[in-house]
């Protein structure tokens, strides 16, 4: 690991069902151009110019820290986005199961239908 990459940030996540530590591999080079920040590829592909694009990291300890913070930010964003998707999918599944159970128990008969 280069001497300038000794400032290594990390994050610790916890929720009722999961604990996880998110770390950055300091042996790699980290860009300041994040995957989950800035305009989407679709917007850029349509010809947009990113005027807020971050400057390249300097070859200093703080420059390396900024690159590693960008990677950590990407990792946190992707991790939490996946957690949100999983929670939404579980919610939808639970609703479908409850609906199926209700239909089976009711045997397809509508209670309001009394003729």
Q: Give residues in contact with another protein (CB under 8 A).
A: 7-16, 32, 36-37, 54-55, 58, 60-63, 65-66, 69-70, 72-73, 76-77, 80-81, 83-84, 87
All residues at 6 or more sequence positions from 6 whose CB lies less than 8 Å from its CB, including other chains: 26, 61
The dihedral through the CA atoms of 66, 70, 75, 81 has a sign that is: positive
Please report how close the Cβ of residue 111 comes to another protein at its closest, in angstroms.
Answer: 35
In the bound state with another protein, the residue whose beta carbon lies nearer, of 2 and 99, is 2
Pair of tokens at residue 80: 């939490």
In the bound state with another protein, the residue whose beta carbon lies nearer, of 39 and 61, is 61
Please report how close the Cβ of residue 46 comes to another protein at its closest, in angstroms.
Answer: 23
48: left (phi over 0), alpha (psi -120 to 50) or beta: beta
Spell out a b/e string for 3-23, using b for 16 or more CB atoms within 10 Å of the CB, else e: ebbeeeeeeeeeeeeeeeebe
Please report how close the Cβ of residue 6 comes to another protein at its closest, in angstroms.
Answer: 8
In the bound state with another protein, the residue whose beta carbon lies nearer, of 58 and 103, is 58
Please report how close the Cβ of residue 40 comes to another protein at its closest, in angstroms.
Answer: 15
């Amino acid at each position: 690991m280069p001497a300038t990459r000794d400032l290594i940030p990390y994050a610790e996540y916890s929720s009722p069902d999961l604990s996880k530590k998110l770390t950055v591999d300091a042996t790699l080079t980290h860009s300041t151009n994040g995957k989950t920040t800035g305009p989407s590829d679709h917007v850029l592909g349509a010809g947009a110019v990113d005027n807020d694009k971050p400057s390249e990291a300097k070859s200093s300890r703080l420059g390396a820290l900024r690159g590693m913070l960008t990677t950590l930010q990407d990792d946190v964003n992707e991790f939490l986005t996946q957690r949100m998707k999983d929670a939404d999918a579980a919610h939808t599944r639970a609703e479908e199961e409850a609906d199926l159970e209700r239909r089976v128990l009711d045997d397809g008969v509508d209670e309001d239908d009394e003729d």
